[in-house]
Amino acid sequence: MAENLYRHPEPVPPASQLAVLPFLAAVDGYLREAGNVPGLRITMHRAVSREGDGYLQQVCAYLQESGGNAFGTVGRFFPVNDRIMGAAYGSGKIWRTHHYDSVETLHADLRKTEKGNLSKTPVSYLAIPFLGPQDQVVLILYADCNQLNFFANDERVARLVAMSKGLCRLFDWLQKEPFPALRNFPLQKGEPITGETGLYDIHEPLSKPAAPKFAEVFSFNYEAAVA
């Protein structure tokens, strides 16, 4: 079923997409502050339930150099243990590609699990989970790029976490004082569906900084509401 859901994405409410896109645009702007980052893509996933099964679902288009790409991306479902996102989901920790001295060394590790031409495979990955009040994963910020060691920079990751904590404070406030025509409708918790992890042997979890955490938000599902 997970494969079918991956190929046949389901709609994400426009309000949910718009709720995260300005934040992702700010993240994109920060990451490109010193210049272009080749192949940089940024998106957000959320924990969802479908027919009692739990998945990760891509909330919005990838933000990339062209501004965005909505085709074949929004609404895709992934098993909860899928690659670096799944590692972040299962551990509640931030995961990233660790430091490498060269792309050749990284590719040597990638070939242990990834076959074929690696020239188009990103060389830097990052997954930041957003935890709920009970430490459940609500959202996951995902990014990758073609610049070696881009996310192995501790200061860069720390600043992204600080930005993410600001987003948590915003949505905690909106949870208590929502806009009249906008609500975060609760999502039911599903039994997590797993698949082949596909986790590359190039990543590491971070003990610090801790993942950003909501105080009020248990799930993420913004939709227009009757005023």
Task: Assign 189 a pLDDT band (cuts: 50, 70, 90).
Answer: confident
Candidates 41, 45, 56; CA nearest to 20 is: 45
Enclosing domain of residue 181? 2-224
> Total structural domains in the chain?
1
Report pLDDT for 71: 47
Report pLDDT for 149: 98
User: What tens digit of pLDDT does each residue of 79-106 get?
Assistant: 999 999 999 999 999 999 999 999 999 9
CATH of the domain at 156: 3.30.450.40
pTM for the model stands at 0.93
CA distance 87 to 204: 9
- Pick the more confident residue, 181 or 150: 150
Q: Is the pLDDT of residue 131 over 70?
A: yes
CA distance 197 to 81: 5
Q: Is the pLDDT of residue 7 over 70?
A: no
CA distance 184 to 203: 33
- Pick the more confident residue, 115 or 11: 11
